[in-house]
Structure 1
Amino acid sequence: MNKDQQPQDLNEHEQQEHSAVDDSNEVPAEQQSLSAEQQTISELQAALAKAEATVSEQRDSVLRAKAEMENARRRAETEVEKARKFALERFAAELLPVADNLERAVQLADHENESLKPMMEGVDITLKSFISTIEKFGLNVIDPQGEAFNPEKHQAMSMQESADVPANTVLAVMQKGYEINGRLLRPAMVMVSRASEGGVDIEA
């Protein structure tokens, strides 16, 4: 090798070393592609998690709104039912004197008078029809003759000693009571028995 060729060989050697250094610093294309895919997957997972959180929040909002609507509907139905029952109770209470008067007419009539018999039969039929009609709307008669005294449904107007029936038995009904849809509208006014030795006190 002569002197003229030595610098050229050195330059080629330096270029090879420099090329090797550059190649060592470069990231392989496969690794770059894999890294990009991982980043994309991470972004998609984050977007999915966010979407699921949004859907869950919206579902909770819908369920809460549905529950509130259901509660409002039930409250409205309850108020309507209360108003209906209150109106019906007032109307029924106004009808009770009619029933009382018809019953009183039947009780006080002279049943021996043949001339009055057709009229009294008509009054009796009217009374039965009237009671049958109001019962269709939940109104029930309280007629406790011979039953045990019940302070929740009966009002004791007087007491009388009796050896024929147990104490606290209803001896007579002075005025029938009524209840509507299970609620007391008017207590029955009654006479109650008591034992001859003193009996039991009864709250009127």
Structure 2
Amino acid sequence: MAEQDQEQPEAEVQGEQVQSQAEAADSVAESGVSEGGGEEGESPSGELSLEEMVAQLQEDVAEAKDAAVRAQADAQNIQRRAEQDVEKARKFALERFCSELLPVADNLERALEAAAIAAIDDEIVKPIAEGVELTLKSFRDAMKKFNIEVVDPQGEPFDPQLHQAMSMVENNEMEPNTVIAVMQKGYTLNGRLVRPAMVMVSKAAG
């Protein structure tokens, strides 16, 4: 009987120890959950998982590629603008050169007109006029090589993009807004107007 009484306290002590150990394990588990309760896929130490590292690297590569594409586009734009600036400078230089040449052509034309009025059959004036005419022809041929074209709109409809109306005259024989006289010829360079033709334009009789 005494042995049974002695075994009973020992069993109770062992049971209490087991229960205490279980409670301690539960406490440790709960503590681990609370400490490791970060974002899903993150290790307890806070380091990125392999999948997250791969995703981060892919994002970095995409950003690097995008930066490279933008840099290449910027370089191409700079090169394009530089080429345009060079082309504009070249055209501007040609326009200035062309503008300086136009008075020479005007003076040669006036010389021919004066020679025609003075004496067509004059043996002295005639060879001079022929020389001036040949000079003017050579001059115009040289201008054409550089795409300098004459604007001579005699009898054509008035075009404000190419012509400058100096006066308007009533004329029943021609349609209104028709160029009836060219006071000074115009010129274009590569299709771009350098000097408008100064003209007289017809209008309907009042």
Calculate the TM-score normalised by the size of structure 2. 0.68
Match of 2:83 in 1: 77
> Does 1:89 find its partner at 2:98?
no
> Does 1:66 find its partner at 2:66?
no
Deviation at 1:47, TM superposition (A): 5.1
Match of 1:102 in 2: 108
Unaligned runs of 5+ in 2: 1-47
Deviation string, structure 1 residues 83-123 (Cα, Å, up to 9, x no partner)? 11112111111111001001111122133223333332221
Alignment of 1:1-204 (within 5 A): 48-109=54-115, 110-196=119-205, 198=206
Q: Which amino acid aligns with 1:111?
A: I
More moved, 112-121 vs 164-173: 112-121
Distance 1:145 1:135 in 2: 20
Unaligned runs of 5+ in 1: 1-41, 199-204
Deviation at 1:64, TM superposition (A): 0.8
Distance 2:174 2:55 in 1: 82
- Tell me how large the CA RMSD over aligned residues is: 2.2
Deviation string, structure 1 residues 61-81 (Cα, Å, up to 9, x no partner)? 211110000110111111112
Distance 1:159 1:142 in 2: 19
- Matched position secondary structure for 1:148: coil
Deviation at 1:138, TM superposition (A): 2.7
Number of aligned positions between the proteins:
157
Aligned-pair identity (%): 58
Calculate the TM-score normalised by the size of structure 1. 0.68
Match of 2:36 in 1: none
Deviation at 1:135, TM superposition (A): 2.3
Distance 2:178 2:104 in 1: 28
Distance 1:187 1:165 in 2: 22
- Matched position secondary structure for 2:181: strand
Deviation string, structure 1 residues 36-64 (Cα, Å, up to 9, x no partner)? xxxxxx97655544443333222112111
Deviation at 1:170, TM superposition (A): 1.0
